């Protein structure tokens, strides 16, 4: 049953990922991307990580895809039928790079071994029961399931702190870059000169 | 099932022991699904609509629905039949699939929110260890549905409504989530059941200055999240017809309608469970949880008290929403955004610090003492009042210091545009 569930989720995820790339209509592509994010959240649930699944839905489906759609709304192709979004000469390099990244990730996943006391990625244990209150200290896996918020926080601040800080730096850089790209000099009213942006007409109550 | 329990199977990850889907649990979930989610909650919604119409009528010196059944009590059923049998029109230019998916997404979001609410002892449909986060995630799905509804209708009013809705929902989600953090801090868990248990020990969370402030922020932000007056800019009928659901009719419109009232109910339940002590009748008193023994009749008795009080609190919350709706006027768009970003968000962030102080004063000790509780009030009360005053004062200074006419109400043509050339 779990196997069938996994296959359904995986196929749905792959299909929506493909749809994201292949669909011409921008909003529909963004919707397919949201579907893919949701499939990833489902995979997190299958991997016993409800906390991460909820985070995935909250951040990716609830915020990122919304912002994506909002961004689409601010472009010319509001109804998503912009012909400029056709694939161009970059198709072949794109395919090559995509396959290369896939191969790298696959290689890395298959080479992964346990670190310290942790077991390898591929090791499988049956899931311990949900227990609230005091959890015995010698069961990190059980603690991770029952108190995942705390465990994720501690791991982010200790073992993965470099990656965490790097991600923060990357996001800041992206934000600054977005402002720099969106900011145009001619939009800014120059000093000393009256603004060229027309002011709102005064609001009148007469019909 | 055999495959599920076989440890050599490569895919035995999920839930194999934690939630063993024995027939007892399956029966419980089935009951919740059939009785609660298909029968009870839509019924509650139908009568909420009736109640709102009656309440609004009372406020406006009218009678309200009184033709169908005694006191108009059968009116919701008549409305439901009307919605079900009405023709479902889809505009010719609309994106058919997305047009269908949007209301489904909105209603699914509203239903999913109810899945972790602890109505009474042992009466939470599912008790997730990270239930609160799950709830936030479920409620964050609805902006997507609203947006898709507006986009797929191919109608400029729908699109305008969707844009407004998304801007508003994304903005108010931030203070809403930030207002929950004190509760997580005090509860020490993301599970709503654990949060309820903590409130049994330490009194309702609203009975503290940071809790009160967090409750007020949550209240305002959730009214905005629900698109209700005074935050009903996305569906302002005098400006953009009906906003994102302009092009919806028949049962698809009915789904939006159902989702709106279901969300009101769900947010009422959430606020009750988080701040108002769930089903506890009195703050700082353990009754009726001290009656809980191991016998089934006692459990049933306690659950009846808890459930009745819980529903009463939710009803009060809903009536408050109705009261606000018929009393206040719609906000202006720029003020709406200012209010979220300049008032609520800073207050919510500062409030997390105050919540930490309250935690040190009251909850750190492990038992609730009157001295610690009073000390907490003495320390955090002035801080909260000062923070509110400071935020309001700074905002007023910014407002007065800015160019004339910005952010201030203007009447007629008397507005002065500073520095702007004519034409």
State the pLDDT confidence band at A15, using cuts at 50, 70 and 90: very high
Report whether pLDDT(B419) > 50: no
Segment B247-265 shows an average pLDDT of: 85
Strands (E), B84-177: none
Say yes or no: A61 contacts chain B, CB-CB below 8 A: yes
Number of separate domains in chain B: 1
pLDDT at A200 over 70: no
Q: Which residues of A touch B191 (CB under 8 A)?
A: 132
With CB atoms and an 8 Å threshold, state whether B12 touches A126. Answer: yes
Distance CA B178, CA B157 (A): 32
Identify which has the larger pLDDT, B364 or B104.
Answer: B104
Q: Which pLDDT score, from 0 to 100, does residue A157 have? A: 86
Q: Quick one: residue A133, left, alpha or beta (phi over 0 = left, psi -120 to 50 = alpha)?
A: left
Q: Which of B14, B173, B421 sits opposite A48 (nearest CB)?
A: B14
- Residue A187: what pLDDT? 54
The pLDDT tens digits of the residues spanning B39-64 come to 888 888 888 888 888 888 888 888 88
Percentage of the residues of chain A whose pLDDT score is greater than 90: 16
| B13–A34 CB contact, under 8 Å | no
* Residue B354, domain member (yes or no): yes
Report d(CA B76, CA A143) in Å as an integer: 48
pLDDT above 90 covers a percentage of chain B that reads 9
Chain B contact set for A48 (CB, 8 A): 13-15, 18
Which of helix, strand or coil describes residue B88? Answer: coil
Residue B65 has pLDDT above 90, yes or no: no
CA distances from B111 to A66, A88, A201, B135, B381 (A): 20, 43, 45, 10, 37
A1-80+140-186 has CATH 2.60.120.260 classification: no
pLDDT confidence of residue A37:
92
Contacts of B194 (CB under 8 A, 6+ apart): A132, B187, B188
| Residue B182 tokens, joined | 């004190």
CA distances from A82 to A24, A79, B94, B98, B220 (A): 8, 8, 17, 18, 39
**Residue B183 with chain A: CB contacts under 8 Å:** none
Helix residue ranges per DSSP H, B188-295: 192-202, 209-225, 237-240, 250-274
User: What percentage of chain A carries pLDDT values higher than 70?
Assistant: 65
CB contact under 8 A, A58 and B140: yes
CB of A76 within 8 Å of any CB in chain B? Answer: no
Tell me, what's the pLDDT at A29?
Answer: 85
The pTM (predicted TM-score) of the whole model is: 0.79
For the stretch B167-189, pLDDT in tens is: 888 888 889 989 999 998 888 88
Q: Average pLDDT for residues A31-57, to the nearest whole number? A: 87
Structural domain boundaries enclosing B225: 10-22+93-401
Which of chain B's residues have a Cβ under 8 Å away from the Cβ of A124? 7, 10, 12-13
In a domain, B167, yes or no: yes
Please give the Cα distance from A10 to A144 (Å, whole number): 24
DSSP string across B314-339:
HHHHHHHHHHHHHHSPPPPHHHHHHI
Pick from B52, B148, B53, B151: nearest CA to B109 = B148
Contacts of B95 (CB under 8 A, 6+ apart): A25, A27, A28, B151, B152, B154
| Model pLDDT, residue A82 | 53
Domain-located, residue B263: yes
Closest approach of B140 to chain A, Cα-based (Å)? 5
Residues of A in contact with B417 (CB under 8 A): 199-200
List, for residues B123-144, the tens digit of each pLDDT value: 777 777 788 888 888 888 888 8
* pLDDT band of A125, cuts 50, 70, 90: low
Mean pLDDT of B395-416: 60
Residue B421 lies in a domain: no
The structural domains of chain A, with segments of one domain joined by +, span 1-80+140-186
């Amino acid at each position: 049953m779990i196997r069938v569930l996994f296959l359904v989720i995986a196929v749905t995820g792959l299909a929506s990922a493909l749809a994201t790339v292949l669909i011409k209509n921008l909003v529909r592509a963004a919707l397919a991307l949201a579907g893919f994010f949701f499939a990833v959240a489902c995979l997190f649930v299958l991997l016993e990580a409800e906390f991460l699944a909820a985070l995935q839905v909250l951040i990716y489906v609830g915020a990122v895809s919304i912002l994506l759609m909002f961004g689409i709304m601010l472009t010319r192709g509001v109804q998503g039928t912009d012909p400029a979004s056709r694939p161009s000469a970059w198709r072949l390099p794109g395919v090559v790079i995509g396959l290369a990244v896939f191969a790298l990730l696959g290689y890395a996943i298959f080479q992964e071994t346990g670190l310290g006391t942790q077991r390898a990625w591929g090791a499988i244990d049956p899931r311990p029961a949900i227990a609230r209150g005091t959890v015995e200290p010698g069961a990190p896996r059980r603690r991770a399931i029952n108190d995942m918020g705390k465990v994720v926080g501690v791991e982010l601040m200790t073992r993965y702190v470099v990656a965490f800080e790097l991600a923060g730096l990357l996001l800041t850089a992206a934000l600054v870059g977005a402002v720099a790209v969106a900011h145009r000099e001619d939009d800014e009213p120059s000093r000393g000169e009256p603004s060229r942006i027309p002011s709102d007409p005064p609001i009148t109550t007469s019909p | 099932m055999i495959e599920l329990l076989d440890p050599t199977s490569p895919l035995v990850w999920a839930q194999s022991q934690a939630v063993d889907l024995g027939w007892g649990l399956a029966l419980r979930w089935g009951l919740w699904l059939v009785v609660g989610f298909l029968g009870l909650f839509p019924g509650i919604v139908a009568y909420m609509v009736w109640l709102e119409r009656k309440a609004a009528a009372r406020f406006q010196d009218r009678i309200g629905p009184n033709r169908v059944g005694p006191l108009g009590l059968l009116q919701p059923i008549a409305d439901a039949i009307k919605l079900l049998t009405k023709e479902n029109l889809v505009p010719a230019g609309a994106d058919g699939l997305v047009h269908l998916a949007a209301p489904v997404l909105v209603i699914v979001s509203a239903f999913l929110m109810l899945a972790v609410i602890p109505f009474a002892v042992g009466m939470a449909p599912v008790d997730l260890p990270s239930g609160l986060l799950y709830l936030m995630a479920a409620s964050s799905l609805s902006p997507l549905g609203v947006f898709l509804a507006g986009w797929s209708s191919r109608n400029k009013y729908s699109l305008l409504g969707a844009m407004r809705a998304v801007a508003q929902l994304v903005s108010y989600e931030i203070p809403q989530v930030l207002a929950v953090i004190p509760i997580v801090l005090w509860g020490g868990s993301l599970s709503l059941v654990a949060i309820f248990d903590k409130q049994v020990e330490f009194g309702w969370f609203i009975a503290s200055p940071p809790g009160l402030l967090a409750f007020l922020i949550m209240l305002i932000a959730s009214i905005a999240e629900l698109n209700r007056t005074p935050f009903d800019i996305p569906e302002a009928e005098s400006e953009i017809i009906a906003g994102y659901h302009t092009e919806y009719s028949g049962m698809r419109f009915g789904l939006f309608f159902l989702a709106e009232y279901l969300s009101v109910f769900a947010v009422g339940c959430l606020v009750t469970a988080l701040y108002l002590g769930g089903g506890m009748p009195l703050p700082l008193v353990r009754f009726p949880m001290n009656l809980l023994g191991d016998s089934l009749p006692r459990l049933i008795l306690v659950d009846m008290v808890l459930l009745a009080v819980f529903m009463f609190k939710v009803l009060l919350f809903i009536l408050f929403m109705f009261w606000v709706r018929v009393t206040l006027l719609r906000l202006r768009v720029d003020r709406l955004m200012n209010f979220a970003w300049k008032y609520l968000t800073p207050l919510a962030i500062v409030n997390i610090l105050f919540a930490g102080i309250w935690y040190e004063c009251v909850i750190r000790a492990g038992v609730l003492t009157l001295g610690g509780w009073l000390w907490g009030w003495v320390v955090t009360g002035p801080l909260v009042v000062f923070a509110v005053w400071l935020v309001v004062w700074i905002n007023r200074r910014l407002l007065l210091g800015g160019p004339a006419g910005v952010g201030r109400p203007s009447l007629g043509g008397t507005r002065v545009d500073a520095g702007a050339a004519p034409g």
